[in-house]
Amino acid sequence: MTNASQKPVSALIRQGAGLGEVQEGRKTKDEYRKQKDLEEERKLGLEPAMVDVETGRDINPHIPEFIVKNPWYVPSRGPTLQHQRPHEERQIHYSGIDEWYKHGSTGTVASRYRKGACENCGALTHKKKDCFERPRKLGAKWTGEDIAPDEFIQPNLTLRWDAKRDRWNGYDPASHQQVVEEYEKLEQTRKLLREEKLKEGHSDVAGGNNEVDASKSDLDDEDKYADDADMAGVTVDMDSRTRITVRNLRIREDTAKYLYNLDPNGPYYDPKSRSMRENPFANLPGKEKEAAKFAGENFIRYTGEVVEANEAQVFAWQARCKGIDVHALAEPTKLEAMKKEFSTQKLRAKDEQKEKLLEKYGGEEYLDVPPKELLLAQTESYVEYNRKGKVIKGEERPGVRSRYEEDKMINNHTAVWGSYWEAGRWGYACCHSFTKNSYCIGEAGLEVHREFSNTPKDQQYSGRENANDAPSSSKSPKSGKKDEDEENSSPSNSTKGNSSAQCESDEEDETDLEKAQQLEEERRIDAEKRIAFIFFRNIC
């Protein structure tokens, strides 16, 4: 790349260069061709690149010539790109992150007058003409007493846009140590109070247990508030132990909107506003449950004051078409007042037109509609009532949805099966009979049941019990044979006495259980026979 001088001829003449020197600076055709060949070799890497005379760095040979060449008004000593760099004198130097206004500064007070200080008060930071103190009769320069402290001049900081709005700008992290010390003092006070409570009403052993329980409860409280802090959209103020709900975060357990439908041609999700207007489950069968949770956000465009805003916009367009100068965004108050006045005039004109038509044609009595409650209370079903308000005709009893016939009595019964319960059995409430599909005997059955329930159990079936006990007193042939076998048994059989005795006791228990069941069954059959006997006796 060429580095020919770009100075005008007048500047060269002013510096002492003649026209001959200027003409000598021009290159011939061969020199120009050699310069181009050198540039190509530098691009190919065959020749070393030019070096910046200001910085000492290599200049990229692929940079265009019009960028490398210095303008005529920028002086240079050789090839350089300094003219493409930002000018240092034009740069704005901003304050660093460690620079801030000093707080709590106290000025130093001198003991004697210093040369160059204020003649009135003795401070070095200003002169006598700039002094704000009351003019003294004899200044500090001549008396050397009551010298004022030097004022602290705050630095003039130049901050960027974000530095001006930084909430932590100028914060000293060392000041947080005061908060730590305060919490340590609170913890020590809490321990002292806990020890005093343990010493007041508990023994040493009980006190140790309570201390463990108290520390455990404190840990549980801390864990509880820590769990609350981990919840999505919830923060915990540890000072007041209160939960604060944050509404600008969605719950991370819920599925994101853009994950409902992964089809690239599906509903569009706007990441800036976090909105998906269309329904992502519109054409997906089997997604009814998911569609119930989220069906798009188009409904927001038609809720609240959106409809009124759209009507106001349409009214503004129509007014512009009629020649009225109004804009919905520039003049919303004017538009609202005009729309309200237009609606009032429209209703007034409609009422006047209605009154004119009624005066001319009549028929106002047909416009009086009865109340809506009376219209909805009327019905076409015909019902007749008596003087007491009981339905006589017209209202059919609603059918009962059941597989069984309802309220159908059989065999002279006045109650259904299952209307009576006693001793773990179902029966009829009309006659207290426990036999299903039996014939009802009415009050006679109730008397028999009452008499049977009042009779003691040991006297109800005494004869039958004696009959059942009689065979048990006599020995059966098997038992006699068993005794003979025991008498004639050899000594070897005597060793098995314990095991055989245990087996015999188990068999006796089973026999007693069977006898009890048989006795209960016989009692039931006997009671049914007695009821049947009384029934047939009354019939005869």
pLDDT in tens, 171-181: 888 889 999 99
Between residues 108 and 69, the one the model is more confident about: 69
Chain-centroid distance of CA 479 in Å reads: 83
pLDDT at 248 over 60: no
**Nearest Cα residue to 394 out of 405, 402, 386:** 386
- Asked if residue 140 lies in contact with residue 126, where contact means CB atoms within 8 angstroms, the answer is no
Between residues 377 and 143, the one the model is more confident about: 143
In order of 69, 153, 514, 518, 526, the CA distances from 521 in angstroms are: 127, 115, 11, 5, 9
Residues 6+ apart with CB under 8 A from 264: none
What is the distance between the alpha carbons of residues 515 and 521, in angstroms, rounded to a whole number?
10
- Asked if residue 15 lies in contact with residue 75, where contact means CB atoms within 8 angstroms, the answer is no
pLDDT tens-digit series, residues 119-133: 999 998 899 999 999
Lowest mean pLDDT among 13-17, 212-216, 421-425, 437-441: 212-216
- Asked if residue 257 lies in contact with residue 294, where contact means CB atoms within 8 angstroms, the answer is yes
Residues 6+ apart with CB under 8 A from 60: 49
Q: Give me the residue spans of the domains in the chain.
A: 9-90, 108-151, 257-303, 415-471+509-540
| Length in residues, the chain | 540
- Asked if residue 278 lies in contact with residue 296, where contact means CB atoms within 8 angstroms, the answer is yes
What is the distance between the alpha carbons of residues 258 and 249, in angstroms, rounded to a whole number?
16
Q: What does the pLDDT read at residue 353?
A: 95
Q: Locate 69 and state its tokens.
A: 């060449």
Q: What does the pLDDT read at residue 8?
A: 61
What is the distance between the alpha carbons of residues 381 and 538, in angstroms, rounded to a whole number?
51
The 3-state DSSP class for residue 164 equals: helix
Q: What does the pLDDT read at residue 532?
A: 67
- Asked if residue 128 lies in contact with residue 63, where contact means CB atoms within 8 angstroms, the answer is no
Chain-centroid distance of CA 513 in Å reads: 65
Average pLDDT value for residue range 74-97? 88
- Asked if residue 279 lies in contact with residue 267, where contact means CB atoms within 8 angstroms, the answer is yes
pLDDT at 250 over 70: no
Between residues 392 and 477, the one the model is more confident about: 392
pLDDT at 85 over 50: yes
The 3-state DSSP class for residue 472 equals: helix
Percent of the chain with pLDDT over 90: 26
Lowest mean pLDDT among 37-41, 450-454, 473-477: 473-477
At residue 108 the predicted structure's pLDDT band, cuts being 50, 70 and 90, is confident
Average pLDDT value for residue range 511-517? 75
Q: Strands of 411-521 (E only): list them.
A: 420-422, 425-427
Average pLDDT value for residue range 371-377? 71
At residue 441 the predicted structure's pLDDT band, cuts being 50, 70 and 90, is confident
What is the model's pTM? 0.28
In order of 181, 200, 216, 269, the CA distances from 187 in angstroms are: 10, 20, 15, 51
Coarse DSSP helix, strand, coil percentages of the chain, rounded to the nearest 5 percent = 50, 5, 45
Neighbours of 121 (CB within 10 A): 21
- Across the chain, mean pLDDT equals 77
At residue 46 the predicted structure's pLDDT band, cuts being 50, 70 and 90, is very high
pLDDT at 150 over 90: no
Q: Which residue shows structure tokens 């004119």? A: 356
Q: What does the pLDDT read at residue 78?
A: 87
